[in-house]
């Protein structure tokens, strides 16, 4: 594996909204074609996608307590 | 008599709608908590914020239009309350030069150990360092990252929740993720030394 040495302008435009599923159908196709052809972007894409998953996993690991859940349920009748 | 009957029917419908609303709102509690937990810095604050959100949601249930996005409606209450609670001062982030920011973290991680592929290299970051790095992102940017990356909201929904233009969501997201990566790169360097 080698460090990212060059910057692809296309990458900046496409990767984040592509990962966020915010591109239109034609933009998505364009992004996929570009990712297949550009080594820099496909590497960046794999890194960004796994970072996104990893951040999500780290930040969603703490569940709410059963006590809080019970408190929320009690609010529904307590406020009338 | 007919009026009394129609009043009774109306009350029964309203009571049924209210119960349905409350059940749907309670069904979203885990998702609301996950977002709240990353908007504020401690578990206690998150619990208070979620409770306030639910108290307000139950009180103002009539202002919700059935069939519209309930998750976004709740999240809007949550983010407004969070802003109202007053936000603590935060240091301004040390920005990497723009052209470097996006791949700086990758290069840092890549240099920090034996070769790994692009997907495995993130595992060199500890989960604690990720939570800490996100907490270090200034509020305006963090709110957007949390809504989109943890809450699974679209740009449009995040814009409605935060009451900002969609372009602002996109630019804050872009800059926020860059700040997050900068923070992570710093912590990766810190762990090495």
pLDDT (tens digit per residue) in A18-39: 999 999 999 999 889 988 988 8
Q: Give the residue carrying structure tokens 């578990």.
A: B43
What is the mean predicted confidence (pLDDT) over B124-133? 88
Note the pLDDT of residue B118: 72
**Residue B92 maps to a domain:** no
Q: Which of B131, B132, B166, B135 minimizes the C-alpha distance to B148?
A: B166
Q: What are phi and psi of A31, to 5 degrees?
A: -65, -45
| Residue-wise burial string across B35-52, b where 16 or more C-beta atoms lie within 10 A, e elsewhere | bbbbbbeeeeebbbbbeb
| Mean of the per-residue pLDDT values of chain B | 85
Residue A2: inside a domain, yes or no?
no
Residue B188, domain CATH: 1.10.10.10
- Closest B-chain CA to A80: B59
CB pair distance less than 8 Å for A7 and B99? yes
Cβ–Cβ contact A54 with B under 8 A:
yes
pTM of the complete model: 0.83
Q: How many domains is chain B partitioned into structurally? A: 2
Q: Which of A35, A44, A76, A78 should one mutate to test binding to chain B, selecting the residue with the greatest count of B CBs within 10 A?
A: A76
Contact (CB<8Å) A4/B103: yes
Q: Length of chain B in residues, anyone? A: 193
Residue B90 lies in a domain: no
B20 and B124 Cβ atoms separated by less than 8 Å: no
Domain extent, residue B107, equals 98-192
H-helix or E-strand spanning residue A66: helix A66-78
């Amino acid at each position: 594996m080698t460090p990212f040495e060059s910057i692809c302008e296309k990458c900046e435009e496409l990767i984040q909204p592509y990962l966020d599923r915010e591109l239109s159908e034609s933009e998505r196709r364009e992004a996929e074609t570009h990712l297949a052809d550009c080594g820099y972007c496909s590497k960046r894409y794999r890194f960004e996608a796994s970072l996104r998953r990893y951040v999500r996993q780290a930040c969603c690991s703490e569940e709410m307590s059963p006590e809080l859940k019970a408190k929320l349920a009690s609010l529904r009748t307590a406020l009338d | 008599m007919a009026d009394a009957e129609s009043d009774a029917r109306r009350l029964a419908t309203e009571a049924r709608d209210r119960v349905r609303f409350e059940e749907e709102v309670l069904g979203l509690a885990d998702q609301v908590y996950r977002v709240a937990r990353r908007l504020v810095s401690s578990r206690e604050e998150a619990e208070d914020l979620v409770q306030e959100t639910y108290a307000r949601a139950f009180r103002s249930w009539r202002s919700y239009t059935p069939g519209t996005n309930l998750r976004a409606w709740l999240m809007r209450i949550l983010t407004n309350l969070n802003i109202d609670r007053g936000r603590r001062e935060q240091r301004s982030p040390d920005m990497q030069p723009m052209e470097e920011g996006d791949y700086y973290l990758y290069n840092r991680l890549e240099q920090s150990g034996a070769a790994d592929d692009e997907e495995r290299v993130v595992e060199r970051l500890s989960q604690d360092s990720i939570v800490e790095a996100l907490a270090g992102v200034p509020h305006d940017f963090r709110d957007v990252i949390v809504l989109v990356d943890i809450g699974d909201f679209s740009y449009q929904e995040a814009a409605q929740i935060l009451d900002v233009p969609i372009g602002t969501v996109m630019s804050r997201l872009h800059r926020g993720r860059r700040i997050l990566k900068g923070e992570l790169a710093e912590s990766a360097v810190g762990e090495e030394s």
